[in-house]
Amino acid sequence: MINVVLVGVGGFIGAILRYLLSGAIYRLLAYPIFPIGIAIVNIIGCLVIGFLGGLVESRQALTPELRTFLFIGVLGGFTTFSSFGYDTFGLLRDGQMFFAISNVLIQVLVGLGAVWFGFVCSRFF
């Protein structure tokens, strides 16, 4: 039961952080057509999970409970691939093929690169 609470509290925190950060980005950029707020949130989430995953693998730095809280709860609530899918679908539906393809390529390729970079950076801590 404790893991359910850890995931729930972490998800609550992550979802609020996602809402605040992506909203701030959209307001800062005057609501651009491209879903850059969600892209930035996903890339940050990938970087953080890569970094923490590297620390766990190389140093067993986090307890299982803390991993559950951070990986499944906070980062699960923070990253937004469901929103990614919805935004991409909306771009496709609106006939904006270039932006839809750009959205997929940027988030997947840069996200995977961020996981790798975070993992590599974890070796220095």
Domain boundaries, the chain: 2-124
The pLDDT tens digits along the chain (125 residues) read: 999 999 999 999 999 999 999 999 999 998 788 899 999 999 999 999 999 999 999 999 999 999 999 999 999 999 988 889 999 999 999 999 999 999 999 999 999 999 999 999 999 98
Sign (positive or negative) of CA dihedral 21, 24, 26, 29: negative
- Whether residue 79 contacts residue 21, with contact meaning beta carbons closer than 8 Å, is answered with no
- Using a cut of 0.85, tell me whether the model's pTM lies above it: no
Tokens of 16: 């609020």
